Amino acid sequence: MKDIIPQRSLHIEQLDLNQWATPIRFSDCYELILIQSGKGHHLVNDKRFTYQPGDVFFLGAHDQYSFLTMQPTSLYRLSFSPLYISSLLIADDQPWAYVNRSTSPCLGSIATDSTDQDNLRALVTMILSEERSLRHLTGNPIVESLMKIILSLVDRLLGERGAVIPSRQTFSLNLTRQIIAYIGQHIGEPERLRMDTIADAFNYSPGHLSTLFKQQVGDSIQQFIIRHKLKLVATKLRQTPLTVSQIADEFGFSDVCHLNKLFKRYYNHTPTAYRQVLSA
């Protein structure tokens, strides 16, 4: 039985392993593992792969794995949820189809070229540096830029290694991307973001469209809208002198109290307190 802990949208760590090790996983998250030093065997589901420094493994959300080390092993592990990937799609017309919905089993190390290995290691190391500097990973524009490059590289490598995407899932991915683009375009227009209005725009029933979206993203359309709005609010608080009232108006919140309540639920601070913490 695999050990899991509740999902975190983005997490990075450096692990040092000896002998047999089964790292605890975040539930329903993808993982990118970069071997820094050591040799041994990487066991994924019912397959066994030898590993050496430079190898890069991509694990699906439900893959079970462990390590049998022949030498003390050091690795980087980057975990990210489907919802985190979808949050990056708002501003980018890039579905990362192989990362999001590949149905192929683990293919072994996806990076055999030293340039790809070096590039991924450098990018992941920069994210780890942000973490060690006690900076937030989510809502961090530098980390988001790094993650977009990492996902693009991994997606390309998976495609080159022969990962498979069923045609039905490709259609659902394209539809989800269109919905996310629609949400981004109308994020400050509450009437355009009603579930029945969105369903009409895509010629689906509300229930059917909601089901398709949740299968791809892992969250309902309305929940996704709330998370995205609050992410934009946090950005405005960091980067502009706008008042909380002005920000609430810009993103279509009914009033400041409504924004305060939602923001505190997700960020553990009111918008005003959040801005004060950032400026401290």
Read off the pLDDT of residues 251-269 as tens digits, 9 standing for 90 and up.
Answer: 989 889 999 999 998 888 8
Domain that holds residue 133: 4-160
Q: pLDDT-based confidence at 149, cuts 50/70/90?
A: very high
Query: Are 268 and 190 members of one domain?
Result: yes
Asked if the model's pLDDT at residue 276 lies above 90, the reply is no
Angle at 52 between CA 48 and CA 55, to 5 degrees: 85
Using only C-alpha atoms, the chain has a radius of gyration, in whole angstroms, of: 20
pLDDT one-digit tens code per residue, 46-79: 889 999 999 999 998 788 888 999 999 999 999 9
Q: What is the pLDDT of residue 90?
A: 62
Q: What is the pLDDT of residue 262?
A: 92
- Cβ count near 14 (within 10 Å): 15
- Of the two residues 17 and 94, the one the predictor is more confident about is 17
| Contacts of residue 64, Cβ cutoff 8 Å, sequence gap at least 6 | 2, 44, 45
Query: Are 147 and 124 members of one domain?
Result: yes
Determine what percent of the chain is predicted with pLDDT higher than 90: 44
Residue of 164, 174, 167 lying closest to 213 (CA atoms) = 174
Q: What is the pLDDT of residue 87?
A: 76
Q: What is the pLDDT of residue 107?
A: 73
Query: Are 12 and 147 members of one domain?
Result: yes
Residue after which a domain boundary falls, among 130, 160, 190: 160
| Contacts of residue 40, Cβ cutoff 8 Å, sequence gap at least 6 | 50, 51, 67, 68, 69, 70, 71, 73
For the chain, list the strands marked E by DSSP: 4-5, 10-17, 20-21, 25-26, 30-37, 40-44, 47-51, 56-59, 65-69, 73-80
Residue after which a domain boundary falls, among 135, 160, 185: 160
Query: Are 142 and 182 members of one domain?
Result: no
Q: pLDDT-based confidence at 169, cuts 50/70/90?
A: low
